[in-house]
């Protein structure tokens, strides 16, 4: 009995320490992401997964950070490795909770990032899969601004398919998913209405306005975006892209 009590006390202590470690690591990971230092944040969330491999919050964060870090790489193999890791983290989270809104969102982000430079045929294959995840994310959390952004990108990319890509897709599948710049604008605007500090969303909204021949709105959106403080490691580069777009339409 004494041995059992000692074991139970030790187990309780270890659980308590582990829980405290997780809370501390999560707080530090969030702080590092906000600095921003995304590589350091990624490492912190991985530390949590060593202690608690089923921690959905950390799995989602690792997936999202892999998608963002991967985008900034220059070597194609490294880029693909990050995107595959992003899908793996999201996949593990979805096995734990298939209806978790954020897990579905980060899976859609990972699939979207990995399909951006693919051919029309591969884009269509990915588009069908992305739509499943983004729809499930929005269904389970209509206030997920990142999911609305992904839906906007989904519509924008499909609306931007050229004639050859559309023809090839129709021959392969008989039809292609519907997507348009107008629908992209609706989704991007919805994302902005939920969170008005998402710089990438402003830029993509401006691009959609431009494609939809609404340049006054595109100019206004870019100018507003340029006043928002940077939040991610990508934001400075996104603003430079936005300035180039602004120069081309003024």
**Strand ranges in the chain using DSSP code E only, listed in sequence order:** none
Contact 191, 199 (CB under 8 A): no
pLDDT of residue 169: 64
pLDDT of residue 157: 86
Look at residues 56, 25, 55, 24 and name the one whose alpha carbon lies nearest to residue 42.
25
Domain boundaries, the chain: 9-116
- The two tokens of residue 81 are 């490795």
> Residue 10: pLDDT band by 50, 70, 90 thresholds?
very low
Whether residue 5 is predicted with pLDDT greater than 80 in this model: the reply is no
Q: What is the mean pLDDT of residues 99-113?
A: 96
Whether residue 21 is predicted with pLDDT greater than 80 in this model: the reply is yes
Cα separation, 209 vs 68, whole angstroms = 24
Which of 73-77, 106-110, 121-125 is the least confident region? 121-125
Look at residues 110, 116, 137 and name the one whose alpha carbon lies nearest to residue 191.
137
**What mean pLDDT, rounded, does the chain reach?**
87
Q: What is the pLDDT of residues 49-105, one digit of tens each?
A: 999 999 999 999 999 999 999 999 999 899 999 999 999 999 999 999 999 999 999
**Cis-peptide, bond into residue 145, ω within 30° of zero:** no
Which of 66-75, 131-140, 152-161, 238-247 is the least confident region? 152-161
Contact 224, 199 (CB under 8 A): no
Whether residue 17 is predicted with pLDDT greater than 80 in this model: the reply is no
- By the 10 Å C-beta count (0-12 exposed, 13-18 middle, 19+ buried), 64 is classed as buried
Whether residue 16 is predicted with pLDDT greater than 80 in this model: the reply is no
CA distances from 229 to 35, 202, 205, 213, 225 (A): 12, 13, 18, 28, 9
Predicted TM-score (pTM) of the model is 0.86
CATH class of 9-116: mainly alpha
pLDDT of residue 128: 83
- The two tokens of residue 157 are 């990319």
pLDDT of residue 141: 97
Contact 60, 54 (CB under 8 A): no
pLDDT of residue 170: 67
> Residue 180: pLDDT band by 50, 70, 90 thresholds?
confident
């Amino acid at each position: 009995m004494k041995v059992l009590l000692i074991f139970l006390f030790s187990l309780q202590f270890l659980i308590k320490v582990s829980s405290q470690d997780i809370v501390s690591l999560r707080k530090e990971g969030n702080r590092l992401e906000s600095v921003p230092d995304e590589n350091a944040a990624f490492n912190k969330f991985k530390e949590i997964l060593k202690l608690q491999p089923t921690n959905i919050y950390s799995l989602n964060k690792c997936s999202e950070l892999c998608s963002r870090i991967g985008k900034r790489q220059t070597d194609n193999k490294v880029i693909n490795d990050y995107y595959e890791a992003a899908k793996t983290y999201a996949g593990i989270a979805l096995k734990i909770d298939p209806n978790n809104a954020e897990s579905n969102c980060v899976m859609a982000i990972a699939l979207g990032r990995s399909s951006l430079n693919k051919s029309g045929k591969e884009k269509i294959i990915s588009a069908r899969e992305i739509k499943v995840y983004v729809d499930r994310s929005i269904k389970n959390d209509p206030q997920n601004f990142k999911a609305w952004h992904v839906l906007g990108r989904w519509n924008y990319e499909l609306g931007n398919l050229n004639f050859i890509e559309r023809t090839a897709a129709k021959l392969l599948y008989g039809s292609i998913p519907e997507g348009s710049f107008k629908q992209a604008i609706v989704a991007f605007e919805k994302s902005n209405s939920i969170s008005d500090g998402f710089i990438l969303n402003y830029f993509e909204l401006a691009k959609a306005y431009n494609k939809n021949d609404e340049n006054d709105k595109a100019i206004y959106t870019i100018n507003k975006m340029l006043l928002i403080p940077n939040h991610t490691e990508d934001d400075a580069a996104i603003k430079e892209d936005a300035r180039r777009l602004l120069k081309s339409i003024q």
